[in-house]
Amino acid sequence: MSATSQPEGLTKARIEALTDGVFAIAMTLMIFNIHVPQFVHSPSAVGLGRSLAHLWPSFIGYAISFFVLGIYWVGHHNQFHFIRKTDRNFLWLNLLFLFSVTLIPFSAALIGQYSDQRTAVTFYGANLIATGLFLFAVWKYATNGRRLVDADLSSEVVRKASQRILIAPVAFVLAIILGFVNTRASLALYAAVTIYYFLPSGIDMHWQARDRKLKPPTA
């Protein structure tokens, strides 16, 4: 089936709209976990600065979680570049993915308030692992037997995308383990994962190379 042909089965427009809405709300809700310091009287510059400094774990948790959500949104968006249609099972898999996404604002608030507690760091990591695995399940279901994608979709694309998705859950498992030794080091690993995903991936370079080959020569 070509990319321009009309796919049989359920269309993907509504699932994309729902996913974008859920991500938008989840990413917005996280900032509400950080509250402006309250004082009975107008604080001094030093007093306000100290109060803001005490909020640094919340800001760190917010920043990491915002970009983690961004990573998963980008991953989901990239998947739907290849996915042509949906079915009932796929809808429920995507809802499980979104369920995990909507839990991230709570997990972010938890590590923002209890960043020195292994339980909070573990819960946060488990939430992120579940989100990554559900995203992998969405991709695996769609591509298995080319169920919801083009029949001629390259196996290399499927493999590279699968590897790209699974790197995060594996790294988050290591972050949980590291949290039993040092919770700050665990948070640093969570942050490092987001930085890694800013870099171009193998699948990005694959498509760039393909586009260069398809681009007609200029005069």
pLDDT greater than 50 at residue 5: no
pLDDT greater than 50 at residue 64: yes
Write the pLDDT tens digit of every residue in 104-142. Answer: 999 999 998 998 999 999 999 999 999 999 999 999 999
pLDDT value, residue 1: 42
Residues of the chain above pLDDT 70, percent: 87
pLDDT value, residue 216: 55
Write the pLDDT tens digit of every residue in 66-110. Answer: 999 999 999 999 999 999 999 999 999 999 999 999 999 999 999
Write the pLDDT tens digit of every residue in 42-56. Answer: 777 777 888 888 888
What is the 3 state secondary structure string of the chain? Answer: CCCCCCCCCECCHHHHHHHHHHHHHHHHHHHHHCCCCCCCCCCCHHHHHHHHHCCHHHHHHHHHHHHHHHHHHHHHHHHHHHECCECHHHHHHHHHHHHHHHHHHHHHHHHHHCCCCHHHHHHHHHHHHHHHHHHHHHHHHHHHHHCCECCCCCHHHHHHHHHHHHHHHHHHHHHHHHHCCCHHHHHHHHHHHHHHHHCCCHHHHHHHHHHHHHCCCCC
pLDDT value, residue 207: 55
pLDDT value, residue 6: 45
Write the pLDDT tens digit of every residue in 155-183. Answer: 999 999 999 999 999 999 999 999 999 99
Domains contained in the chain, CATH given: 13-214 (1.20.1410)
User: Residue 200 — very low, low, confident or very high, per pLDDT cuts 50/70/90?
Assistant: confident
Tell me the average pLDDT of the chain.
Answer: 87
